[in-house]
C-alpha cells in the first residue's frame, strides 16, 4: 500500500545569514557546531537543536522507509515564515526556501512532493510567489494559522485564497505564533495548548468569514487533525445558533456544513480521537501526516492506524488517496 506522509518539515543545510544580509531582525540561521547536528539560532538566541534529518534528503528516505513510507510531502519549518519581516526580505527568504524544495523534488521525484512558503504579510507579493511556486513544480503552500496576529478572515488574505483556487494550488494551514505564548512559557504549553487552539482559530476564521463558501474549490488541509476544532464543533455550532448576531455576521451557513469539505491530517496520537474524526470527516478527508522529524510528531508514521481494526479501504484512503486528491497528484507517479 502506498504511504504518503503529507506533513513533514525540511530546511536547507546552508542558508544565508539573513540578519546580516538585511541588517535587522532575528532571522533563523543554523550553526553547524558538530557533524549531523545544528543549533537553530533566532538572531543570537538559541531556538532549538536539530539533527541532519532536518536537511539530509537521503537520510530522511532511509528513516521513513523503516515505516513503509514511500513519499514525503515537505514544507518549511513554521519558524521560517518570517511574516514579521519587511515583505521584500520575506519574499527573498521564501524564494530561497522554495527553490531548495523545488530542487529536492526534481532530484527525487518519487520520494518528495513540495509545498512552498509565501510572504503572507503582503498580498501582492504573496500571490506573485504563489504563481512562481506553481511554475517550479510545488503543489501548494503552507501558511500560518495567523499572520502577525491577523486572522485568516481578514479581507487582505482573501485574494491569496482566491489565487490558490484559481491556480489550483493546495493550502496547508499550520499553527504558529501561538496565542498566549508569553503567558504560558512553562510546560511547553504553547505547543500543547496553543497549537490546537491556533488551528481552531484558523478554521473558524475561514468558515465564518465565508472563505469556504465563496471558494468551494479551494483545497485546504489543517494540521494536527484540525487542532481542537473537531472536539469543540458542537460548542461552535451552538454559538452560531444562539448568537448569530456575533457569529453569523459574514456567513449564515452552519459551521458544521463545512466538515468534510476540507482535509485534516491524522496526527492525534489517540485511536479514539481518530475514530471520532473518521466519523465526522470520512476517510476521504483524513491524510497521513507525521510532523517528521520533530519529537511531538507521530514518528512511527501511522503505525497506530495499522494496528487499529479498520477496513483496508479506510486505511488506504488515509495513507494515500486523500493526499493524492488534496494535492491533485497521481499515484502512478510514485510507483
Ligand atoms: Zn508541523
> What confidence tens digit (pLDDT) does each residue in 129-159 have?
999 999 999 999 999 999 999 999 999 999 9
Output the CA 297–ligand 1 centroid distance in Å: 8
- pLDDT above 90 as % of the chain: 99
Dist. CA 222–CA 224, nearest whole Å: 7
CA distance 28 to 20: 11
Question: What does the pLDDT look like over 207-256, one tens digit per residue?
Answer: 999 999 999 999 999 999 999 999 999 999 999 999 999 999 999 999 99
Which of these, 122, 181, 118, 125, lies nearest to 150 by C-alpha position?
Answer: 122
State residue 44's pLDDT score.
85
Nearest to 42, CA basis, from 55, 57, 59, 29: 29
| 68 alpha carbon – ligand 1 mean position (Å) | 20
Q: What is the mean pLDDT of residues 182-200?
A: 97
Dihedral class, residue 122 (left if φ above 0, else alpha if ψ from -120 to 50, else beta): beta
Give 38's pLDDT tier (boundaries 50, 70, 90).
very high
Distance 189 CA to ligand 1 centre (A): 16
pTM higher than 0.75 for the full model?
yes
- Contact between 7 and 326 under an 8 Å Cβ cutoff? The reply is no
**Dist. CA 54 → ligand 1 center (Å):** 12
Q: Tell me, what's the pLDDT at 294?
A: 96
In the predicted model, is pLDDT for residue 43 greater than 90? no
Residue 84 and residue 148 in contact, taking contact as beta carbons nearer than 8 Å:
yes
Ligand 1 centroid–CA 173 distance in Å is: 10
Cell of 274: 481518530
What does the pLDDT read at residue 142? 98
Neighbours of 24 (CB within 10 A): 11
Residue with the three cell numbers 506573485: 128
Between the CA of 117 and the centroid of ligand 1 the distance, in Å, is: 13
Question: How large is the angle between the packed helices 271-281 and 229-242, nearest 10 degrees?
Answer: 50
Amino acid at each position: 500500500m502506498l504511504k504518503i506522509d503529507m506533513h513533514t518539515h525540511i530546511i536547507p543545510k546552508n542558508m544565508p545569514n539573513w540578519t546580516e544580509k538585511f541588517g535587522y531582525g532575528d532571522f533563523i540561521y543554523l550553526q553547524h557546531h558538530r557533524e549531523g547536528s545544528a543549533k537553530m539560532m533566532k538572531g543570537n538566541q538559541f531556538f532549538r537543536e536539530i539533527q541532519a534529518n532536518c536537511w539530509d534528503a537521503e537520510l530522511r528516505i532511509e528513516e521513513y522507509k523503516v515505516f513503509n513510507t514511500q513519499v514525503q510531502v515537505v514544507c518549511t519549518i513554521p519558524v521560517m515564515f518570517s511574516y514579521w519581516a519587511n515583505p521584500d526580505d520575506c519574499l527573498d527568504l521564501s524564494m530561497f526556501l522554495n527553490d531548495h524544495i523545488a530542487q529536492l523534488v526534481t532530484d527525487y521525484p518519487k520520494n518528495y512532493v513540495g509545498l512552498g512558503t509565501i510572504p503572507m504579510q503582503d498580498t501582492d507579493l504573496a500571490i506573485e510567489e504563489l504563481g512562481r511556486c506553481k511554475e517550479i513544480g510545488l503543489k501548494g503552500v503552507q501558511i500560518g494559522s495567523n499572520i502577525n496576529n491577523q486572522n485568516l478572515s481578514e479581507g487582505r488574505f482573501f485574494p491569496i485564497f482566491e489565487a490558490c483556487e484559481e491556480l489550483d494550488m493546495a493550502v496547508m494551514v499550520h499553527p504558529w505564533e501561538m496565542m498566549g505564548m508569553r503567558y504560558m512559557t512553562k510546560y511547553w504549553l504553547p505547543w500543547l495548548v496553543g497549537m490546537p487552539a491556533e488551528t481552531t482559530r484558523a478554521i473558524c476564521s475561514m468558515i465564518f468569514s465565508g472563505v469556504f463558501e465563496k471558494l468551494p474549490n479551494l483545497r485546504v488541509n489543517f494540521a494536527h487533525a484540525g487542532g481542537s476544532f473537531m472536539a469543540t464543533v458542537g460548542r461552535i455550532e451552538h454559538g452560531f445558533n444562539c448568537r448569530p448576531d456575533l457569529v453569523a455576521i459574514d456567513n449564515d451557513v452552519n459551521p458544521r456544513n463545512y466538515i468534510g469539505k476540507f482535509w485534516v491530517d491524522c496526527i492525534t496520537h489517540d485511536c479514539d480521537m481518530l475514530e471520532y474524526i473518521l466519523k465526522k470527516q470520512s476517510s476521504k478527508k483524513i491524510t497521513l501526516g507525521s510532523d517528521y522529524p520533530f519529537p511531538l510528531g507521530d514518528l512511527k508514521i501511522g503505525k497506530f492506524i495499522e494496528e487499529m481494526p479498520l477496513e483496508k479501504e479506510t486505511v488506504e484512503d488515509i495513507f494515500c488517496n486523500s493526499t493524492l486528491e488534496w494535492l491533485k497528484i497521481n499515484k502512478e507517479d510514485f510507483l
